[in-house]
Structure 1
Amino acid sequence: MTSPSAAAERRGRFICLEGIEGVGKSTHLSAVVAHLQARGITAVSTREPGGTPLGEAIRGLLLSRDFPPMHGDTELLLMFAARAEHLRHFILPALDAGTWVVSDRFTDATYAYQGGGRGIPVERIAALEDWVQGAVRPDLTILLDADVATGLARAGKRGEADRFEQEAVDFFERVRAVYHERVNRSPTRYAVVDAGGDLDRVRADLLARIDDLLAHPVSGTP
């Protein structure tokens, strides 16, 4: 019979990259996975909203500019609907199999964007978090941080803005502020990387935080 400690030892780790638009989450995601794989760790990348066929369809609804303005509650519920699928059909099976999961955003983004940006009460988000996730939390969340002007300037070079990217500067200032509030409240689960500099320096700092996790593992997911 497998002991609980042995099962926990084999369980994969859950890492999330967070931040506002233009900080390089998608750019650095594959580098983090490759870094883990080079150390003999089975790792996969994913994103939110998305990560499953249904989640990607919901992502299309959330980012599309083809619909009338979406109510904040609708947006919040769609985020958690996609997350419920993502957890049950991708994240948890991978972790149970011993695979490390690296996600471009998770629930911290919901607190930042729907809570800070849209002004939805944090208690409402927390209730959905507990319902959908239970005790599941990332082992490490890395906040790629840059000032809003820098992030939006970079995002603007990617092409036509999606529904979130077209928001005003003050929206993203509120989003960034909530990210920092969450880091300050739970500093052991977060690492902050200055994403305002050149790509190589940011990547080196980011991968150093991954090495810290490898050297000093913590568990956010039971």
Structure 2
Amino acid sequence: MTLAGKFIVIEGLEGAGKSSAIESIGECLRRNGIGFVNTREPGGTAMAEQLRDMIKHGFEGEMPSTASEVLMMYAARCQLVEQVIRPSLKQGDWVIGDRHDLSSRAYQGGGRGIALQELDTIRQFAIGNFEPDLTVYLDIDPSLGLSRARSRGSLDRIEQQQLDFFERARVVYLDAVASNPKVVKVDASLDMRAVQEQIITEVQTFIDQN
């Protein structure tokens, strides 16, 4: 019988280095002989990618309201979970996710100010109790992260939020680290090699325990 796979998610503010972290996790899984697929949120299916574009850039000049934004986020997440993540896990593949539900709690909850209880209601309807087996949170001071993000080029609608938006989001992330043993923190302000070493250590420990 094929054993179920595991779902590992990378979380963090803009400029935290999620892309490099995902590469490090993939390399760690390969070294352990573990097959995996990569996903991203919002996105990851044809429908979810269309929603991603509307969330980040609007549609024909029309920008989503706060309520529309969070509903589109969960619509995209529901599609990804049902069409990609659950089937992959069921057949024994591991899944590396670029963001998941904690992003909504941080960005739409902390950043936008939507009550977490309201997000919990939407989440329960959209994906139920589905959650990652491990979340690696890349912690970085928002001002440093935004500076890094700006150096990459133009910013999307969410990346253009004010500094206090990301400061509020960071508080939610840190609360999750403190309250959820499945969420581990990595200091993303260090140089890339040091960050990669932290990530690989956390993931290898998780693999060894599973």
Shorter-chain TM-score category?
over 0.9
Say yes or no: does 1:118 pair with 2:112: yes
Deviation at 1:67, TM superposition (A): 2.9
1:15-49 Cα distance to aligned partner (Å, 9 max, x none):
00001000011222122112101211011111100
Structure 1 residues not aligned, in runs of 5+: 218-222
- Aligned partner of 1:149 in structure 2 is 143
- Aligned partner of 1:64 in structure 2 is 57
Give the TM-score normalised by structure 1.
0.91
Pick from 84, 95, 100 the counterpart of residue 89 of structure 2.
95
- Equivalent-residue separation in structure 2 for 1:158 and 1:107 (angstroms): 25
- Aligned partner of 1:39 in structure 2 is 32
Give the TM-score normalised by structure 2.
0.96
Asked if the contact 2:57–2:63 (Cα under 8 Å) also holds between the matched residues in 1, the reply is: no
Say yes or no: does 1:51 pair with 2:51: no
- Equivalent-residue separation in structure 2 for 1:102 and 1:126 (angstroms): 23
Runs of 4+ in 1 over 2 A off after TM superposition: 65-70
1:173-193 Cα distance to aligned partner (Å, 9 max, x none):
00111111122121x111100
Pick from 198, 207, 213 the counterpart of residue 200 of structure 2.
207
Report the RMSD for the aligned CA atoms in angstroms: 1.2
- Equivalent-residue separation in structure 2 for 1:88 and 1:208 (angstroms): 30
- Equivalent-residue separation in structure 1 for 2:61 and 2:14 (angstroms): 22
Q: Which amino acid aligns with 1:67?
A: G
Deviation at 1:168, TM superposition (A): 0.3
- Equivalent-residue separation in structure 2 for 1:205 and 1:38 (angstroms): 16
Structure 2 residues not aligned, in runs of 5+: none
Q: Counterpart of 2:138 in 1: which secondary structure? A: strand
Say yes or no: does 1:197 pair with 2:185: no
- Equivalent-residue separation in structure 2 for 1:130 and 1:200 (angstroms): 38
